[in-house]
Amino acid sequence: MFSTFPLMNKIVYNFSAGPSTLPKQATAEAAAAIADFASTGIGIMEMSHRTKPIEGMVAETESLLRELLSIPSGYEILFLGGGASLQFCMVPSNLLDSNASADYTDTGVWANKALKEAKKFGKVNVVCSSKESVYNHIPKNFEQTSGATYLHVTSNNTIYGTQWKEFPKANTYLVCDMSSDILSRPIDVSKFGLIYAGAQKNMGPAGVAAVIVRSDILGKVQRDIPTMLDYRTHIPEHSMFNTPPVFSIYVVNRVLHWLKNLGGVAAMEKINIKKANLLYDALDNSKLFKGTAAKEDRSTMNIPFVFREEAVAADKKEAVEKKFLAMAQEKGLEQLKGHRSVGGFRASIYNAMPIEGVEALVGFLGEFENLAH
């Protein structure tokens, strides 16, 4: 049901923050399609995007995403190249006029990159920031700017392990980078003007980003938008104005089928909460490890943790960290090193991480703590 990888008689659990683990079913189906897609005798990476099998697959992928997220009418779905980072400029290019302003929340590295890019198109009001506290929480008490075009949030912060549990109500409409927790919980899409998400964390492989945009917010800016950066170029062409990242979209298609068969987003949320609580409980009850994010803002997707200061001397920390990571790898627990900007450790437990993987990690944390003492 979930993605595990037998290697030399050992099961490997991939805790990478992205590109991340994918359902084994989805990768197996994608691998088969490389040789023969839809019983055509032609591999999916060799087939023109103008053929009926590819057009049908992209249309089905759009339909599945609409169904799983209960996306209402009036919203368009696009599958575009460039990842979420390209959306940092596409969003303000399409929505923020040069003589207008937008509100941005600064809750992590990617949120900060998004607001820096937006400054090239119009005025940016940074309405809140947790940068001074190393982004360890989500600021909630902030005032929006009167007349701001939109309010931008980053739903989940992969490096620091924080997540908006409730989205703020925007004066106009919300724009959200949902790259690392899309499809992990139900959301009310009608509260958003635009949602974008790079696929490689919770939805598929690198190479494609999904954009969900309310059509009536487009066409308001005065600038001449470059053709490929204009959402209105891609909407009537159903993401096929130029050759789209077909194979990446197909893997997303298979992941969406897997999720639907699992019971959909509501069922996935229950599993994700169970996985996260299991790991957070272990960290909270540990004398060696501790989580780094404020408890009320803890992410269900990315869980950074470190050694407790009183448990490991500063001059020994680096050596003990290396030992921990080496022993974890021996146990088949991969990619647990924290982001280079913060150090420590991080377990990314996206949709495709099975609860057995979290159980294995929790067991290892206890084992390592016993060895350390």
The amino acid occupying position 218 is L
| Residue-number span of the structural domain to which 218 is assigned | 25-261
Mind listing the pLDDT tens digit of every residue in the chain (373 residues)?
Answer: 555 555 556 799 999 999 999 999 999 999 999 999 999 999 999 999 999 999 999 999 999 999 999 999 999 999 999 999 999 999 999 999 999 999 999 999 999 999 999 999 999 999 999 999 999 999 999 999 999 999 999 999 999 999 999 999 999 999 999 999 999 999 999 999 999 999 999 999 999 999 999 999 999 999 999 999 999 999 999 999 999 999 999 999 999 999 999 999 999 999 999 999 999 999 999 999 999 999 999 999 999 999 999 999 999 999 999 999 999 999 999 999 999 888 899 999 999 999 999 999 999 999 999 987 6
By the 8 A CB rule, do 33 and 250 touch?
Answer: yes
In terms of domains, do 241 and 140 share one?
A: yes
In terms of domains, do 224 and 301 share one?
A: no
Looking at 212, 246, 261, the residue that finishes a domain is 261
In terms of domains, do 273 and 299 share one?
A: yes
pLDDT at 308: 96
Euclidean distance between CA atoms 262 and 211, whole angstroms: 24
b/e per residue, 28-54, with b = 16+ CB within 10 A? ebbeebeeebeeeeeebeebebeeeeb
Euclidean distance between CA atoms 80 and 86, whole angstroms: 9
Euclidean distance between CA atoms 107 and 216, whole angstroms: 28
Q: Which two tokens stand for residue 84?
A: 């979420």
CATH number at residue 216: 3.40.640.10
What pTM, to 2 d.p., does this model score? 0.95
Return the bridge partners of 81, or none. Answer: none
Q: Give the H/E segment covering residue 13.
A: strand 10-14
In terms of domains, do 181 and 120 share one?
A: yes
Closest to 258 in 3D by CA, of 176, 354, 194: 354
pLDDT at 3: 52
In terms of domains, do 209 and 230 share one?
A: yes
In terms of domains, do 120 and 247 share one?
A: yes
pLDDT at 29: 97
Q: Which two tokens stand for residue 109?
A: 């590295």
Looking at 230, 261, 292, the residue that finishes a domain is 261
By the 8 A CB rule, do 262 and 70 touch?
Answer: no
Looking at 261, 291, 322, the residue that finishes a domain is 261
In terms of domains, do 71 and 14 share one?
A: no
b/e per residue, 208-229, with b = 16+ CB within 10 A? bbbbbbbeebbeebeeebeeee
Count structural domains, the chain: 2
In terms of domains, do 275 and 366 share one?
A: yes
By the 8 A CB rule, do 347 and 361 touch?
Answer: yes
In terms of domains, do 63 and 165 share one?
A: yes
CATH number at residue 284: 3.90.1150.10
Q: Where are the beta strands (DSSP E) in 114-225?
A: 123-129, 151-154, 156-157, 162-163, 174-177, 192-198, 209-214
pLDDT at 138: 98
In terms of domains, do 272 and 201 share one?
A: no
Euclidean distance between CA atoms 296 and 86, whole angstroms: 31
Euclidean distance between CA atoms 161 and 179, whole angstroms: 13
The amino acid occupying position 315 is D
Euclidean distance between CA atoms 18 and 37, whole angstroms: 27
Task: Provide the 8-state DSSP code for 142.
Answer: -
By the 8 A CB rule, do 27 and 3 touch?
Answer: yes
In terms of domains, do 108 and 250 share one?
A: yes
In terms of domains, do 141 and 247 share one?
A: yes
> Which are the catalytic amino acids?
110, 177, 201
